[in-house]
Amino acid sequence: MTRAALRALAAYWARAPLQLAMLLLGLALATALWSGVQALNTEARSAYASAEALLGEADLDRLEAASGRIDEADHVALRRAGWQVSPVLEGRADLGAARVTVLGIDPLTAPPRTGAAGPGLAADDLGAFLGGQGRGFAHPETLDAVVGAAQVDLRADTNVPVGTVLVDIAQAQRLLDAPGALSRLLIAPDQPTGLPPLADIVPHLDRIAPAGDGGLAALTDSFHLNLTAFGLLAFAVGLFIVHSAVGLAFEQRRAMFRTLRALGLPLRRLMVLALAELMALALLAGLAGLALGYWVAALLLPDVAASLRGLYGAPVPGALRFDPLWALAGLGMALAGALAAGGQSLWRLWHMPVLAPAQPRAWATASAAAMRAQGAGAAGLAVVALGLGIWGDGLVAGFALLAAMLLAAALAVPVLLAGLIALVGRAVARAGPVAEWLAADARQQLPGLSLALMALMLALAANIGVGTMVGSFRATFIGWLDQRLVAEAYVTARTEDEARALRAWLEPRTDAILPVWSVETTLAGQPARVFGTADHATYRDHWPLLQSSPDAWDRLAAGEGVLINEQLARRADLWPGAALTIPGAGAFDVVAVYSDYGNPRGQAMLGIDAFTAAFPDAPRRQHALRLPPEDVPALRADLQDAFGLPSTLISDQAAAKALSMAIFERTFAITRALNVLTLSVAAVALFASLVTLSGIRLAQLAPLWALGMTRRRLAVLDLARTVALAALTAVIALPVGVALAQVLLAVINVQAFGWRLPLQLFPADWLRLTGWALLAATAAAALPALRLARSTPGALLRVFATAR
């Protein structure tokens, strides 16, 4: 009995291969995008974990100098006093063809709890690590990039973050040209008793507790939440496809279910078989989806890595590893998604009376009550979104606001479309019977197409919203770059002596030499950088201030005030009038807040005199130069001749701007890729709905053909109807997208990155996007329309067959 029933159920799919393909495609796409995004998140998070474990800073206190450099003598003094400390030197250097982070450690003193003990340092490696030319470790990806670097013998190790080379401290000092220098000293958690206080031995060093905020993982949380939200959106859109296909299959098999039960198949058995069928299809689609998801993730990972590097400086490898747990979770999502999408059909099967009328209920018809309920749901969610917008606080509230807003808009789509179609219908009623029918028909087709149109609206709104956000960001960023990069050239000396010589040499050849001197420190409990700033028109006339007190620049020059960036101002709630303590320099009044896009960390600007007084040991090697722009090429050539400076240490304004813009574009590469993917899935959803509907569409159109409309005209009208519905959906998506952009700019970005951007509108981009959406809708509707135009009279006549 079971086998016969299974055969009867399966026979349906053999006769509806396109519908089966749509179901599998929908679920495979949903699984692919969801699991793809999860693979990206997992890969990135594991990279942060390895980075933090290697640096050993997640758990350990450390000693740092305000200048950013510690002398080796301090290390020796501490060890002699009995303190268990381990030196670390970190810096950037060119190795082979790549610029990498060189991390120098001492494996003999590194606290064993940390990854700083080094990866893969077996006893026989230790000698090689410490002695001779020195052996180092690097991620295989980094190894490929630095191939040919003769300075150090590198071995591959996946525990080392991408872009980092781990070497012995002496090797690091050699590679970084920093003899005797250290970046910090890690303090082992277990220390002998009776030690003299640190302040007595190294009073000039600050003991800094671990950040406790999870470092990169916390900093990048919002980025991964964004990715997850995109993945969920795509998953939901894919499930819309599955829901359509499963729903239609149920309706078309209603008579068969009834017959099977009438012939003696128990309802419970029928339910189990229907569920097994759904799960088998889900398993098949899930496996395909996993393969596709892995491929998508591998394709997107370089973009994600670029975004994470651009936004947070987070080291993420560009190659993907396979994780069986990820595959299992993806399959679980596929099965759960299929259950969610097919649940309604299964429920209806469970409640279907055995003597239900044999005439299939029109699948596409939905009651006015259902639409009213949907409208009420949309209104309720809109109120929730409004409430969250007014009273919500924090990143989670921001994302809840986004979710409520998008869900409300999606639920409102059929209601709004029905209203718009009614308006259009009234306007075209006098144009003729065909126009009137077309409007009435479009309205009646809405329930069947509503899920696909909701998906299209969400995809369009996401595209408009994210596009507007990125566009606003880009426009603001360009303006901001023009303000920030006023100097015509930037030059960096290799040593302090060279810097002094450079300043003397440049003095008569430039209009102004502006120091770009800075130290790493902690401000208001956050890692930050303090700059010394000259009193010059370059800053007074151009610096992008968001808020300031009237005499901000005078007070800065007098050493009474400090300027801070927006990120620090928002996170620490420091605005003009507040006081800020800079370790090693004292307390200052905040006199202005400036925009500082693209920098995840806090920043402060001190007057140059106050800076040099507080941080006499700060490196003074970088300078911004003011001179007529046309003199820059000659100066660059002279500098190279006079000092032998490599070209990488001299950059002009155009190059700096180009570099910044390139970083910006790379940062949003992943956004563009995800936008295209989401819109593509929505187009597939529309295609799937139209294909599945086309099975019952013939019966609706055959009478019109019989009444004297040609198949070609009906096909064209059907295509036009779909494109018109897509156009109306785009009209609805536009305000939703702009609202989404506003939430991203005013709520999410502020919470996630610490800066707020003004909303700018890009009508030309929206028009282009709408064009793409209409093209996608046309492509989605083309096949069903073509099938209709080419349908044989025999197929149409079957609709009128008296014996059914």
Partner 1 sequence: MTALAITDLHKSFASTEGPIPVLRGVSLELAPGASLALTGESGSGKSTLLHIAAGLEPADRGEVRVAGAAMTGTDDDTRARLRRGTVGLVFQQFNLIPSLTVAGNLAFQARLADRHDPDWTDALAQRLGLADLVARYPEALSGGQQQRVAVGRCLAARPAVVLADEPTGNLDEATGDAVLDLLLEACAEAGAALLLVTHSPRLAARCDARLHLRAGVVAAP
Specify the residue, 453 or 556, whose C-beta has the smaller distance to partner 1: 453
In eight-state DSSP terms, residue 744 is: I
Shortest CB 447 distance to partner 1, Å: 12
List the one residue from 179, 324, 353, 802 that touches partner 1 (CB under 8 A).
802
- Quote the least distance from Cβ 804 to partner 1, whole Å: 8
Which of these, 116, 94, 272, 249, lies nearest to 175 by C-alpha position? 94
Q: Which stretch binds partner 1 (CB under 8 A): 149-157, 313-321, 623-631, 698-706?
A: 698-706
According to the binding rule CB under 8 A, does residue 803 interact with partner 1?
A: yes
The least CB distance from residue 725 to partner 1, in Å, is: 14
Between 313 and 419, CB nearer to partner 1: 419
Residues 391-430 contacting partner 1, CB under 8 A: none
The least CB distance from residue 773 to partner 1, in Å, is 25
DSSP state, residue 1 = -
Q: Which helix (H) or strand (E) holds 330?
A: helix 324-351
Could you say which DSSP state residue 473 is in? H
Does residue 793 interact with partner 1 by CB under 8 A? yes
Given CA atoms 559, 561, 567, 572 in this order, what sign does their dihedral have?
Answer: positive
Other Cβ atoms within 10 Å of 195 Cβ, number: 14
Distance (Å, whole) CA 229 – CA 403? 9
Q: Which is nearer to partner 1, 273 or 714 (CB)?
A: 714
How many angstroms separate the Cα of 260 from the Cα of each of 254, 263, 453?
A: 10, 5, 35
Q: Output the smallest distance, CB 723 to partner 1, in A.
A: 18
**Token code pair at residue 722:** 């779909």
452 makes contact with partner 1 (CB under 8 A) = no
The interface with partner 1 within residues 707-736 (CB under 8 A) comprises 707-712
Q: Which is nearer to partner 1, 118 or 425 (CB)?
A: 425
Q: Between residues 648 and 802, which has the closer beta carbon with respect to partner 1?
A: 802
- Which CB sits closer to partner 1, 662 or 797? 797
Is 578 a residue that touches partner 1 (CB under 8 A)?
no
Q: How many of the chain's residues bind partner 1 (CB under 8 A)?
A: 33
Smallest separation (angstroms) from partner 1 to the CB of 697 = 12
In the list 120, 196, 387, 432, the residue contacting partner 1 (rule: CB under 8 A) is: 432
Segment contacting partner 1 (CB under 8 A): 507-515, 607-615, 651-659, 705-713? 705-713
What does each C-alpha distance from 775 to 25, 732, 788 come to in angstroms? 21, 17, 20
797 binds partner 1 (CB under 8 A): yes
For residue 529, the surrounding DSSP H or E stretch is: strand 526-533
What is the rounded CA–CA span in Å between residue 166 and residue 171? 9
Cβ(275)–Cβ(350) under 8 Å? no
Q: Which of 111, 93, 109 is CA-nearest to residue 172?
A: 93
| Subset of residues 361 to 390 that bind partner 1, contact rule: CB under 8 A | 362, 365
Residue 799 interacting with partner 1 (CB under 8 A): yes
Report DSSP letters for 687-739, one per residue: HHHHHHHHHHHHHHHHHHHHTT--HHHHHHHHHHHHHHHHHHHHHHHHHHHHH
Q: Does 135 bind partner 1 (CB under 8 A)?
A: no
Contact in structure between 250 and 345 (CB atoms under 8 Å): yes
Report the nearest approach of partner 1 to the CB of residue 708 (Å): 2
Closer CB to partner 1, 197 or 794, in the complex:
794
Question: Which string of x and - marks every residue 154-193 that binds partner 1 (by CB under 8 A)?
Answer: ----------------------------------------
Interaction of residue 2 with partner 1, rule CB under 8 A: no
**Cβ count within 10 A of residue 343:** 13
- Closest by Cα among 706, 688, 712 to 791: 712
Shortest distance (Å) from residue 414 CB to partner 1: 15
Binding span for partner 1 by CB under 8 A among 229-237, 255-263, 733-741, 790-798:
790-798
How many whole angstroms separate alpha carbon 781 and alpha carbon 800? 25
CB of 703 to partner 1, least distance (A): 4
Separation CA 689–CA 699 (nearest Å) = 17
Which residue in the set 440, 731, 759, 774 belongs to the binding site for partner 1 (CB under 8 A)? 440
Paired sense of beta strands 85-95 and 153-156, if any? unpaired
CB within 8 A of 512, min separation 6: which ones?
A: 534, 536, 538, 625, 626
Instruction: Please say whether the beta carbons of 270 and 9 come within 8 A.
Output: no
702 binds partner 1 (CB under 8 A): yes
At 208, give phi and psi (nearest 5°). Answer: -120, 125
Residues 499 and 620 sit within 8 Å (Cβ to Cβ): yes
Determine, following the binding rule CB under 8 A, whether residue 358 of this chain makes contact with partner 1: no
When binding is defined by CB under 8 A, the residue of 336, 634, 654, 706 that contacts partner 1 is: 706
If you write DSSP's letter for every residue of 180-199 in order, what string do you get? Answer: TEESEEEEPSS--SSPPPHH
Could you tell me which stretch among 209-217, 296-304, 434-442, 752-760 binds partner 1 (CB under 8 A)? 434-442
The label of the residue with tokens 């979770």 reads: 329
Binding mask 743-772 for partner 1 (x = CB under 8 A): ------------------------------
Amino acid at 402: L
Pick 106 or 251: Cβ nearer partner 1: 251
Question: How far apart (Å, rounded) are the C-alpha atoms in residues 785 and 299?
Answer: 34
Distance from C-alpha of 552 to C-alpha of 342, rounded to nearest angstrom? 64
Among the listed ranges 436-444, 487-495, 612-620, 767-775, the one in contact with partner 1 (CB under 8 A) is 436-444
Please identify, among the stretches 155-163, 386-394, 563-571, 700-708, the one whose residues bind partner 1 according to the rule CB under 8 A. Answer: 700-708
Gyration radius from the chain CA atoms:
33
Q: Which of 84, 700, 742, 760 binds partner 1 (CB under 8 A)?
A: 700
Q: Which of 62, 443, 536, 620 binds partner 1 (CB under 8 A)?
A: 443
Catalogue the E-assigned strands of 273-387: none
* 441 lines the binding site for partner 1 (CB under 8 A): yes
For 549, the token pair is 């007190």
The secondary structure element, H or E, covering residue 436 is helix 433-484
- In the complex, what is the shortest distance from the CB of residue 796 to partner 1, in angstroms, rounded to a whole number? 7
- Which residue, 82 or 357, is less far from partner 1 as judged by CB? 357
Q: Which residues lie below 8 Å from residue 92, measured CB to CB, with a gap of 6+?
A: 99, 100, 101, 102
CA distance 302 to 304: 5
Closest approach of partner 1 to the CB of residue 795, in Å: 11
Nearest approach, Cβ of 306 to partner 1 (angstroms)?
A: 51
Q: Which is nearer to partner 1, 367 or 648 (CB)?
A: 367
Which tokens hold the place of 277?
A: 């069928």
Query: One symbol per residue from 304 to 343: x for binding partner 1 (CB under 8 A), - otherwise; what is it?
Result: ----------------------------------------
Binding segment for partner 1 (CB under 8 A), chosen from 59-67, 411-419, 628-636, 703-711, is 703-711
| 751 vs 786: CA distance, rounded Å | 50
Residue 432 or 633: the one with the smaller Cβ distance to partner 1 is: 432
Positions in the binding site for partner 1 (CB under 8 A): 362, 365, 432-434, 436-437, 440-441, 443-444, 700, 702-712, 793-794, 796-797, 799-804
